[in-house]
Structure 1
Amino acid sequence: MNRRLVEQLCRLLGVLALLVALVVHWRAVRAVDAGVPTRRVVRLVEDAGPDSAGRALAAVREALLAGAANAAGAAGAAEPRDGQASRRDTLALPLATVPDAAVRAGLGSVQTSGVPLLWLDGTMARGVAASVTRAAVPGAPLDVRVAASAGTSLTLADAGGVLDSVATPPLVTTWRLRNAAPPLRVRQGRHAISLPVPDSGAARRLLVLAEPGWEGKFVVAALEEAGWVVDGTLRVSPTGRVTIGAPARLDTARYAAVVVTDSMAVDGAALRQFVARGGGLLLGGDALRIPGLAALRPARATELRGAIAGGLLTSSPRSGLEAWELAMASDALVLETDQSDHGHDEPALVARRVGAGRVVAMPYRESWRWRMQGSDDGMAAHRAWWQGAVALAVPAVRRAMPMAPDRYPGDRAPYADLVARVGRPAPATREALGGDAGGDVGRGVGDIPFVLRPWVLLLTALLALLAEWGSRRLRGAR
């Protein structure tokens, strides 16, 4: 190649590098004059390791400390102009897992401090939340409910291994488990929620108030067979009582619920206080006609509905029991219905809330006939009916989970908590990470492409002009 042509190319390259450096500098000066802050995008965690969230927070701390030191040095050199925004680096965090509560709180603090923060979602968890409850009755199963977005498989496991998995979960997935080895883990993508397992059974007792007779006897038997420890008081005369177990003063710490089966005289004021403090009350049959419980009952008994002959031996055995027609209270809720011989549904279980407790009522009289005169499974069905009615009166057992001391969702929904604190994840695009379309006019040194950085351009111009000058001197030209 002709030496003169090489010299011309070197001269052209040097001049072009100088022109580009001037343009880059002019754009930065114009941005400062217009009051547009120069932002710098910092990619803190490039890999998708399981501990990326913790290392991300450590990198955030380092970036903030470095930014504070730079800001302090710059403040000593020159004061910012009026109306000019101070420089804030945009911190971009690729997260492979949903961080724990401490890291989420730290990222939220960074966001609220005014430092722009973006995070890239690599968790494959699009808002999973879970709960575990168990009815406060002996032998009750675990009710596991998981709300998650469709498209990502769900896995349920305990300490012993995987229990079940769903490839395409619905909006809400429900499992019923007889028991599980704590803790329960719900996994979606790379994200998992750990849930404590509520204790099995009810630690408190039941108190049964009844008149001596078949109904009180077999209700107590059914509840004891279901696993309850039952205390009872059977009133045999205005002043005489027969006790079962060791009846004590009504207290929610001792008794989970009170069961009243007959139209006997009861202490209405004591029952009202018990329910208001969080106890359960179950009223069966004639107990709906006790005047002292009028303020508590969810329905009023009006007239008696006769039993259907032979109904105890059919697939609808409760049709063979006498029952009261019910006039519902305004705030009562029908929990279960039975179809009557008139072709319409009759309330079978009715409930209302009183204070912190619940009152459940059933209209059936002499339910012992179902147990003693029903079909072969009458005993088990009678026991399950009373067990289920008591479970409705007693609040479900929930293990306390750490809750955020503020308005955030907390550990019950970690992904939602992260979004609430830091915002929605950003798409991994140039604009979302602070490119030109995102409002950045000037760029920090670390974000300008390598070939456009000032020192690279100046070094290129110097080398090109030096090469052109040296070539001309070697061939004897000026």
Structure 2
Amino acid sequence: MRSRAEWALRAVTLTALALLIWTVVRPAALQPRISDARGGLEAALVNATRRPVAALDVVVDSVPTALHRDWLAAIRAAGTKVSWSGRALPPVAVATSPVAEPESRIRVSVAGGDSTEVVLSDQLGAIDTVQARAIPSSRLLRTATGWVSASARGSRAVTAVANPVQVRRVLVLASAGWESKFVVAALEEAGWTVDARLRVAPGVETRQGPDYPLDTARYSAVIALDAAAAPSAGTIERYVNAGGGAVLAGPASRLPGLARISPAAAGARRVAGPRTGLVLGALKDDAVVLERQGALPLVAARRSGVGRVIASGYDETWRSRMRRAAEAPTEHREWWTALVSAVAFVPAADARASGGDAAPVAALTAALGPQSRMGAEPAGARSLVPPVWMLFGALLASLLGEVVSRRYRGLA
């Protein structure tokens, strides 16, 4: 009876030893899946790099860093099946762009899942909280330091603060009147350097600023307020096609000489409001409507050549500035600044390295594929071989049992 027990223990010893050797030398196709527990990603990556594994299932509670994501992608490219799972991570993306204006503000655009609460921060701390939507929302920042991040429940998107751009002069072509007076005033209050050519009588005009030729080396935008711009129509068209920006307001949008570049033409129907104006008609196919009153288009934009053009039906914006409301001058100034900034030509700024992911969940999905269902494993994915510590324990126990049995048999 004792001899049979010793033979059984010896069989266990040999089996455990064989399994230990097989665990070391077996091919990658037979290796067990390594499931990474939260907080152990670094160790799992090192292990998967040092020895071949068949599959690596990463369980995450936050988006891995760019280093770990690229490491996982490299392991996947080497032949290991890599999947990731965990709690639902909200997709978040952030981008910054300079605003073409004298104040040099930064526009921060954030997109994410519907109703996702996102915290905006820079290198110095939190800035604001926004409700992300699938359609990007934006904030204008007067200053931001280092980088801008958008964080939401385990996802953190990071991008560099865009370099500010240097705007150039603005040229206003119009007849002398209330509209031209207050448009020039609003732009100068916002910090723009304004040159003006104002017609005061047939063949007579007054000039503000030097008599520079209209080109992108000197001007960021040209504003045509009425028919006084007709003699310069050919120059404006060449300027826009070369990359310049133009705002065609009221009657200027229907000048025959500007028909090829204008997104639309102001009609005869007038709308009331703080800014009274004309409804736009004859919209070109590539025109984008930027502002409506109900179904009536009032502001539209398009590209012409490599430049941008905005047609605005508003021809009496000065009335909105003359309202009794305390914020009326500010609103008038901001409206015109936004209009000019949208078309202004500025030299390209050098990009800054962010040191992070602007869209981390999207980058993770692109590198490793979509998230797998948490806890789901294909049939047969789990290895039937016991873990190494269990095999080693069985080996020691069977050897010890056999030695003890032989000692007792000798004593008997």
Q: TM > 0.5 between the two? A: yes
Cα pair distance change 1:195/1:300, threshold 3 Å: same
Give, in whole Å, the separation in 2 of the partners of 1:143 and 1:203.
Answer: 16
Aligned-residue RMSD, C-alpha:
4.5
Q: Would the alpha carbon gap of residues 382 and 147 (structure 1) be closer, same or farther in structure 2, given more than 3 Å must change?
A: closer
User: How many residues are paired up?
Assistant: 407
Amino acid at match of 1:181: A
Q: In the alignment, does 2:308 pair up with 1:318?
A: no
Q: Which runs of 5+ in 1 are unaligned?
A: 68-86, 340-344, 405-409
Q: TM-score, normalised by structure 2?
A: 0.76
* Alignment match, 1:70: none
Structure 1 residue 468 corresponds to structure 2 residue 394 = no
Residue 263 (structure 2) aligns with: 298
Q: Residue in 1 aligned with 2:142?
A: 179
Contact 1:138 1:200 in 2 (8 A): no
- Residue 39 of structure 1 corresponds to which residue in structure 2? 31
Equivalent residue number for residue 336 of structure 1? 291
**Whose Rg is larger?**
1
* TM-score (structure 1 length as normaliser): 0.67
1:109-159 per-residue CA deviation (whole Å, 9 max, x = no partner) reads 33223233345658x844321123454234586543433457986432234
- Aligned residue for 2:340? 390
What amino acid is aligned across from residue 409 of structure 2 in structure 1? R
Q: Quick check: 1:228 aligned with 2:192?
A: yes
Q: Equivalent residue for 1:415?
A: 361
CA deviation map 1:270-311 (0-9, x unaligned): 433433344321101221232211101111344x3468xxx6
Match of 1:272 among 216, 237, 242: 237
CA 1:42–1:350 in structure 2 vs 1: closer, same or farther (change >3 Å)? closer
Q: Is the 8 A contact 2:83 2:371 kept in 1?
A: yes
Judge conservation of contact 2:159–2:354 (CA < 8 Å) in 1: no
- What 5-or-longer segments of structure 2 have no aligned partner? none
User: For residues 3 and 389 of structure 2, what CA distance do their matches in structure 1 show?
Assistant: 25
Alpha-carbon shift at residue 330 of structure 1 (Å): 2.7
Q: Secondary structure at the match of 2:188?
A: helix
3-state SS of paired residue (2:110): strand
Distance across 2 between alignment mates of 1:252 and 1:273: 11
Change (3 A) 1:105 1:249: farther
Contact 1:151 1:169 survives alignment (8 Å): yes
In 2: Cα distance, 1:173 partner to 1:299 partner: 27
* Contact 2:33–2:382, Cα closer than 8 Å, also in 1: no
CA contact (8 A) 2:165 2:349 kept: no
Distance change in 2, residues 1:109/1:9 (3 Å): same
Which of 248, 267, 272 matches 1:283? 248
Contact residue 135 and residue 395 of structure 1 kept, 8 A: no
**CA separation in 2, counterparts of 1:228 and 1:379?**
16
Residue number in structure 2 paired with 1:48: 39
| Conserved 8 A contact 1:131-1:412 | yes
Identity of aligned residues (%): 32
Give the AA of the match of 1:116: K
Q: C-alpha separation between the residues in 2 aligned to 1:347 and 1:170? A: 25
Q: Which has the higher strand share?
A: 2
* Aligned counterpart in structure 2 of residue 206 of structure 1, from 166, 170, 174: 170
1:196 pairs, out of 151, 157, 160, with 160
Q: Residues 228 and 112 of structure 1: is their aligned pair in 2 closer, same or farther, counting only changes over 3 Å?
A: same
